[in-house]
């Protein structure tokens, strides 16, 4: 690495980048969906603001941190952004901690398997005991690596990410991201950043403390190599990109590890509005295939909420998941219910924005009060984990589906059908329900616990 650094002293960056000149009227966003011209104008070794909390500066790290292999996977990356990724690593990382930098280029003929395959290949050739995955359009900040390695040295089952700062895709300005965020998602397996709740914030007395996160954002994380291999690397049958972060996140949590965001580690990343790759069957289809594989292998009975939230996934081919199912068995992983209860209870509370009131079915206390109450009745149709919304239109809905009836005759079936505005066959008042194997209408009985509804204002 020292000799690589010396090389950069003689490296003619301007010449390397301006092999092609920009003509007037040429679209600098065309190839990479960011302003390539601006990226080329800004030197690759520019100074960036240290965006950490000032208390991070006082932290001391162990002298025996393990060196890491830094794996940068790329496919058609702009030279300027790739160069900035590498130079920032060389300039802002203690030399003894970087065993090697592996530039893993996606094979042109392998575009359908793309980045996930490349990451696996990079990991397989890596020689250090710790793997650091980076995107190819990043810019690491001061001391970014030390706090990440420290967490892994203390406990190799941790999988850790930096706070991902924002490199503006138009101006390439380096902007600090909030360090009170964690990764979250909804039942359609759509990723989003989430503010920590007021209670979680109140509990965080020390702003340098790691943040447990239900999911990582994607390609920026550090993991012990033996742990990565033990957990089954990646699902190599997934296409290109998107959804793989769900699979690896569920797997890490459910199979005995944890995911953390480390506020004292900062890495800038160019977030794009659209993905520049051409996906094998279009972006949406690739995403559906990858998330469907995840739901089928990891979400147990809760996959029905994924299908309810993403109806387009129903009936879609998703390949063979046998080996991943076996992997899960072999690793004796927790259930998805465990994950929901211990890692991401907030997912249960997600509800439609249209919702005024939240209805939780059935009354969870009732099984304690009434020994005759049999919760298994509800297991398929009305699990306590399901979240229902009682809307202003007086529909009882879950995602896009509403409780619907054809008649109010006792014994007639209640069904879940796609919601329609103003459909009076979709329950317009709270009716009492009696559950047998299926959900049917029954006259009110004030003592019947199976007819109790708990309503919670949201």
Which chain residues interact with Mn ion by CB under 5 A?
135
Closer of 98 and 217 to Mn ion (Cβ): 217
Taking each helix axis from N to C end, the angle separating 322-330 and 283-298, rounded to the nearest 10 degrees, works out to: 40
Asked if 110 and 24 touch (Cβ cutoff 8 Å), the reply is no
Closer Cβ to Mn ion, 241 or 250, answer by number: 241
* Best CA proximity match to 396, nearest among 377, 385, 382, 407: 382
Distance CA 130, CA 150 (A): 11
Sign of the C-alpha dihedral computed for residues 230, 292, 302 and 221 taken in this order:
positive
**Cα-based angle 91, 95, 98 (whole degrees, multiple of 5):** 100
Residue 235 structure tokens:
């699902």
How far does the chain reach from its first CA to its final CA, in angstroms?
56
In the complex, minimum distance from the CB of residue 136 to Mn ion, in angstroms, rounded to a whole number: 8
DSSP code, position 349? G
Q: Which two tokens stand for residue 56?
A: 């991070």
Please identify, using beta-carbon distances, which residue of 37 and 275 lies nearer to Mn ion. 275
Smallest gap from residue 138 Cβ to Mn ion (A): 8
Of 135 and 244, nearer to Mn ion (C-beta) is 135
Quick check: 340 and 347 in contact, CB under 8 A?
yes
User: For the chain, what percentages of helix, strand and coil (3-state, to nearest 5) are there?
Assistant: 35, 20, 45
Whose CB is nearest to Mn ion?
135
Q: Min. distance of Cβ 85 from Mn ion in angstroms?
A: 10
Smallest separation, CB 215 to Mn ion (Å): 16
d(CA 23, CA 188): 43
* Element of type H or E holding 134: strand 130-134
Considering beta carbons, is residue 116 or 146 the nearer one to Mn ion?
A: 116
Of the two residues 36 and 442, which places its CB atom closer to Mn ion in the complex? 36
Q: Which is nearer to Mn ion, 133 or 373 (CB)?
A: 133
- List C-alpha distances in Å: 15 to 32, 41, 185: 20, 12, 44
Instruction: Find the shortest distance in angstroms from Cβ 184 to Mn ion.
Output: 19
Q: How far is the CB of 33 from Mn ion (least distance, A)?
A: 10
In the bound state with Mn ion, the residue whose beta carbon lies nearer, of 135 and 194, is 135
Min CB(241)–Mn ion separation in Å: 9
* Secondary structure letter of residue 372 according to DSSP: T
Residue 216 C-beta: closest distance to Mn ion, Å: 13
């Amino acid at each position: 690495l020292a000799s690589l650094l010396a090389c950069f002293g003689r490296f003619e960056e301007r010449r390397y980048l301006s092999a092609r000149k920009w003509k007037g009227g040429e679209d600098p966003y065309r190839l990479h969906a960011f302003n390539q011209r601006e990226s080329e104008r800004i030197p690759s070794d520019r100074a960036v603001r240290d965006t950490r909390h000032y208390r991070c500066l006082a932290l001391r790290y162990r002298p025996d941190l393990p060196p890491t292999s830094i794996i940068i996977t790329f496919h058609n990356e702009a030279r300027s952004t790739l160069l900035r990724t590498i130079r920032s690593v060389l300039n802002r990382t203690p030399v003894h901690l970087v065993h090697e930098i592996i530039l893993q280029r996606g094979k042109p003929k392998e575009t359908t398997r793309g980045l996930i395959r490349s990451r696996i290949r990079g990991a397989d050739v890596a020689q250090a005991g710790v793997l650091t995955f980076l995107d190819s359009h990043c810019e690491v900040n001061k001391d970014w690596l030390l706090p990440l390695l420290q967490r892994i040295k203390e406990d190799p089952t941790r999988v850790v990410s930096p706070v991902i700062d924002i490199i503006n895709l138009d101006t390439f300005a380096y902007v600090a991201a909030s360090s009170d965020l964690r990764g979250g998602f909804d039942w359609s397996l759509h990723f989003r950043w989430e503010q920590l709740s007021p209670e979680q914030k109140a509990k965080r007395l020390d702003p340098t403390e790691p943040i447990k996160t239900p999911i990582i954002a994607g390609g920026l994380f550090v993991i012990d190599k033996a742990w990565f291999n033990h957990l089954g690397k990646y699902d190599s049958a997934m296409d290109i990109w998107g959804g793989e972060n769900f699979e690896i996140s569920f797997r890490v949590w459910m199979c005995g590890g944890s995911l953390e965001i480390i506020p004292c580690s900062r890495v800038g990343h160019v977030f794009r509005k659209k993905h520049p790759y051409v996906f094998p069957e279009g972006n949406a289809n690739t995403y559906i295939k990858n998330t469907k594989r995840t739901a089928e292998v990891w979400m147990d009975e809760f996959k029905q909420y994924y299908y309810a939230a993403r109806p387009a996934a129903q009936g879609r081919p998703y390949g063979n998941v046998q080996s991943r199912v076996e992997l899960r068995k072999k690793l004796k992983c927790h259930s998805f219910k465990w994950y929901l209860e211990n890692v991401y209870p907030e997912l249960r509370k997600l509800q439609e924005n249209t919702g005024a009131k939240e209805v939780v079915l059935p009354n969870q206390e009732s099984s304690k009060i009434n020994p005759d109450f049999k919760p298994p009745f509800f297991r398929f149709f009305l699990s306590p984990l399901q979240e229902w919304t009682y809307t202003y239109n007086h529909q009882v809905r879950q995602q896009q589906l509403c409780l619907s009836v054809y008649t109010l005759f006792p014994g007639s079936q209640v069904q879940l059908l796609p919601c329609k505005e103003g459909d009076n066959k979709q329950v317009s008042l709270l009716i009492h329900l009696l559950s047998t194997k299926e959900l049917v209408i029954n006259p009110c009985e004030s003592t019947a616990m199976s007819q109790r509804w708990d309503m919670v204002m949201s």
